[in-house]
A and B are shown apart, each in its own frame.
Chain A
Amino acid sequence: MARMKFLCDAERCIECNGCVTACKNEHEVPWGVNRRRVVTMNDGVPGERSISVSCMHCADAPCMAVCPTDCFYKTEEGVVLHDKDLCIGCGYCFFACPFGAPQFPNGPAAFGARGKMDKCTFCAGGPEADGSEEEFKKYGRNRLSEGKLPACAEMCSTKALLAGDSSVVSDIFRDRVLRRGKGAEAWGWSTAYGGGKQEQTRERKQERTQEQAQEGKQ
């Protein structure tokens, strides 16, 4: 098994926040903590793009490098996890993370009063026994040990958010890009609201001309 990764397709994300809701519901994440959020660029302007962001489980994670209590660890599947028993809530990981993934239950409180850091676990729990109540209370549900992928990706209605083995995820994305083409007309508004119909009509016309040409030959 290769490395576990998330991939968000900006052409498909419709900013429904289903991933955020799925995550909060699955792990019973407390108020004020968002392990995942949807970021929109050029909101309201034609051509706006949204992507779902959480911990990206970096290959060389900066949070792991800066943690003074060395509470982070990496699983064999490349998932970056942390031990809440060791966390002192200093917030260094938050400053080091380029995605703003580490969250603190008490918000931007004074040093030491932020509470234990909480972040996306790729639905892989923590150091406690898999599926135990203790693990659920601290880190949420361990779906990976149940043979399931993260709830956010599995709940994504447009399958913009992909999760799993990085090679498979990139294969799916590559296949998708090859089929839909590139550019603004590829997916999103034009395909969902009319553009796709034009595309289909063009394809049908092409097929008809090909059929007629074949019939003519016969």
Chain B
Amino acid sequence: MNTRILTLLAVAGTLGLAACGERPQIVEYKQGQYQGKADTRPWEGPAFKGDKVAWENALRNRNQSQNEYKRVE
């Protein structure tokens, strides 16, 4: 009798806790899938012709130029 109750409790516990699993709350958007609809990536345009590193460097420069403390140094 006791073992049956224990087994039932174990099963109920397993099922109950399984519902408490932590799932990521933010969707990972993949290019061309689900809401990550197909679009040309910014570095694939005529200006950079697929050169991602050059695009990132260009943006990094622009980003840093917003910091006037660096600009006056």
Contacts and interface: CB of A to CB of B under 8 A. Distances in A.
Interface stretch (A38-46, A67-75, A201-209): A67-75
B7 interface: no
B46 A130 contact: yes
A165 B26 contact: no
Interface residues of B, number: 32
A51 interface: no
Contact of B69 (A83, A127, A131, A175): A175
B62 A73 contact: no
Interface stretch (A14-22, A107-115, A143-151): A143-151
Given A145-B48, A165-B59, A124 B64 contact: no
A28 B42 CA distance: 21
Given A77-B42, A131-B47, A60 B37 contact: no
Contacts of B41: 75-76
Contacts of A149: 59, 62-63, 66
A180 to B, nearest CB: 10
B36 A147 contact: no
Contact of B62 (A126, A148, A179): A148
9 contacts: A60-B26, A73-B29, A75-B39, A129-B45, A130-B46, A145-B44, A147-B55, A159-B66, A175-B69
Q: What are the 8 tightest A-B residue pairs by CB atom distance, in nearest-first order?
A: A147-B58, A130-B45, A145-B45, A73-B37, A164-B63, A74-B29, A145-B42, A172-B67
